Structure 1
Amino acid sequence: MKKICPRCSNSFVCREDRTDLCSCTRVYLISGVRDYVKENYESCLCPSCLKETSASFHSFGVNPKYLTNNR
């Protein structure tokens, strides 16, 4: 199924019918990112945005609710 990423507006293919084949299952997400996406976006993010969100999740105050206590 073709979707539009709510974060970057690019189109991508989502395999919600076969999640084992979906590209998002191959993206490593650090702890908390999945909940952050669910709470802040009404639809799936594209693989690029998932990677970027995971990589910068605790940087620059992406979501203060999920900031680590290591600061």
Structure 2
Amino acid sequence: MIKHEEKYCPRCKTEFECKVGSIQLCQCSDIKLENKELEYIRGLYENCLCAKCMKELKTEFHNQNFQNKLKDILGVFYRSPKK
């Protein structure tokens, strides 16, 4: 029996179907995460996220790393991006 579960994304509150019993068919299986990206997301959320939020957090992780590298290079001349 394939286990499917209706869940709500803890980040955006969108409802999605989690297919933990058939993970290759789950909405999250299209999102490829490197270990550091996965660690970043796990540090923020304990439960499954919708695919949209996973993509956004992957981008956020890389943007944050880029800003940290700029800060290291520019030192006192670094200015945080406006949000």
Between the two proteins, the alignment pairs up a number of residues equal to 65
**Max Rg structure:** 2
Structure 1 stretches (4+) deviating beyond 6 angstroms? none
Q: Name whichever structure is richer in helix by fraction.
A: 2
Question: Which of residues 48, 51, 54 is equivalent to 1:50?
Answer: 54
**Structure 2 unaligned spans of 5+:** 71-83
For the residue of structure 2 that corresponds to 1:28, the secondary structure is coil
RMSD: 1.9
| Matched-pair contact (CA < 8 Å) for 2:40–2:61 | no
**Structure 1 unaligned spans of 5+:** 62-66
Whose relative contact order is higher, 1 or 2, with alpha carbons under 8 Å and at least 6 apart?
Answer: 1
Q: What TM-score does the superposition give when structure 1 sets the normalisation length?
A: 0.74
Q: Which amino acid aligns with 1:9?
A: K
Q: Aligned residues: percent identity?
A: 35
